Amino acid sequence: MIKGVRRSGKSSITYNLAKKFETKETLIMNFEDPRLKNIYAGDILKAIEIYQRKLGVNNPKMTVFDEVQNIKKWENIARLLAEARNIKVVVTGSSSKLMSAEYASVLTGRHIDKEMFPLIFREFVNWNDINADGIEMDKNRAEIMNLLEEYLKYGGFPEVVLMKKDKFKLLRTYFDDILTKDIIRRFGIREIKKIEILAKIYLANVSTLQSFNKLKNVISASLDTVERFSNFFETARLFFYVPKFSYATLKEQVLNPKKVYCIDTGLINSIAFRFSENFGRLMENLVAIELFRRRSYWHNDWEIYYWKDYQQHETDFIVKEGPEVRQLIQVTCASGKDEIEKREIDGLIKGSEELNCKNLLVITHDYEDEIKTENKTMRCLPLWKWLINVK
In whole angstroms, what is the distance from residue 299 CA to residue 118 CA? 18
Q: In the chain, where does DSSP find H-type helix?
A: 10-18, 41-55, 74-84, 100-107, 121-127, 135-139, 141-154, 158-162, 167-177, 192-204, 212-218, 223-235, 250-255, 265-271, 279-297, 342-355, 383-388
What confidence score (pLDDT) does residue 101 get? 58
Q: What angle do CA 317, 160, 29 make, to 5 degrees?
A: 100
Q: Which residue pairs from 68-71 have beta carbons closer than 8 angstroms and sit at least 24 positions apart in sequence?
A: 68/31, 68/92, 68/93, 68/98, 69/31, 69/93, 69/94, 69/97, 69/98, 70/31, 70/37, 70/97, 71/31, 71/39, 71/40, 71/41, 71/44
What are the DSSP calls for 32-84, one per residue?
Answer: TSTTTTT--HHHHHHHHHHHHHHHT-S--SEEEEETGGGSTTHHHHHHHHHHH
What confidence score (pLDDT) does residue 93 get? 78
Q: Are 2 and 9 in contact (CB under 8 A)?
A: no
pTM of the model: 0.90
**Using one digit for the tens of pLDDT, what is the confidence trace for 215-274?**
999 999 999 999 999 999 999 999 999 999 987 655 566 678 999 999 999 999 999 877
Instruction: Indicate the pairing of strand 369-373 with strand 314-321.
Output: unpaired
Cα 159 to Cα 19, 92, 164, 196, 239, distances in angstroms: 21, 18, 10, 25, 20
Residues 6+ apart with CB under 8 A from 373: 345, 349
Please tell me the CATH code under which domain 2-116 is placed. Answer: 3.40.50.300
What confidence score (pLDDT) does residue 50 get? 87
Which CATH fold topology does 121-279 show?
A: Arc Repressor Mutant, subunit A (1.10.10)
What confidence score (pLDDT) does residue 40 get? 85
What confidence score (pLDDT) does residue 20 get? 75
In whole angstroms, what is the distance from residue 74 CA to residue 137 CA? 46
Q: Domain boundaries in the chain?
A: 2-116, 121-279, 280-388
Q: Are 67 and 91 in contact (CB under 8 A)?
A: no
CA atoms in the 13 A half-sphere facing the CB of 7: 23
Q: Are 367 and 345 in contact (CB under 8 A)?
A: no
| Amino acid at position 231, single letter | N
Under-50 pLDDT residues of the chain: none
What confidence score (pLDDT) does residue 12 get? 83
